[in-house]
Every structure is written in structure tokens, then in C-alpha cells.
Amino acid sequence: KDLKALEKLFRCDESKLSIVDRQLLLRNLTISMTDEDINTQQDGQRRRGSDLPALRIGRIVISWDSYLKPCVDIQVEDVDVLVEFDNLMLTKTNWHRLKAAGFPPDMLLMTSDDEEESAS
């Protein structure tokens, strides 16, 4: 379910995975609604959600030190965030629509203590 939501909302111009260097590089990652029209105030035209990403990251570098118990380092560059309000009360935004579509995905975090309890 979460992967389908990510597939629907994420776009990336370039991705490189180096297994030897333990590094993932993503360029121009955008997160946007692609199936809803968004009315922009700038020029009064109707545009697709992909024209107005809620989040755009120019470059992401994810590296890790080990495959057994990785410690992950994430570096981001050139970040743009768009918050677009959908109503006059300023209570609904484009990020609410992204949440309804499954972004950010629900995460399950386990500590080493949790793993020991589930094993017994």
C-alpha cells in the first residue's frame, strides 16, 4: 500500500545506487498530486498537480556505513516547499491531500528491545 502511494506521488529525474560505495543519489525529487487539478492564483489557469509540487528537492544523497546495522546519513540540497491553502479558513492545504493519498507513509520503528521481545 505504502509503495503504491509513493509510486503515485513521487517523481525523480535521476537516481543512482552504488552498492559498493553504499550510497543512493536522487536528483530533482518532486512530491505532488498528479490526479487532481489545482487552481492557481498566479495566472488564473487550471494546472495539473505535477506542475506545482508540494515538495521539490534538487539533490538527495543517502549513504550508510554498514549493511548489518546501518547508520544512515541523509544530505539534502536545494529544497522548495509549497503550502497551498484550499479554503478561506486556511485549514485545508495541499499537504492534507497528500496525507489522504498516503504521504508520508506510516512507518514502523523498532528498537533492539522491541526485536528481543517479539523474538521471545
Q: Give the DSSP H or E segment for 3.
A: helix 2-9
Helix and strand counts by DSSP (H, E) for the chain: 3, 6
Report phi then psi at 54, rounded to 5.
-70, -30
In sequence order, what E strands does 65-107 have? 72-81
**When comparing pLDDT for 17 and 96, which is higher?**
17
Work out the pLDDT band at 25, boundaries 50, 70, 90.
Answer: very high
Q: Give the DSSP H or E segment for 98.
A: helix 94-100
User: Do residues 71 and 63 lie in contact, with contact meaning Cβ atoms separated by under 8 Å?
Assistant: no
- pLDDT > 90 in the chain, percent: 34
Given a cut of 90, whether residue 39 has pLDDT beyond it is no
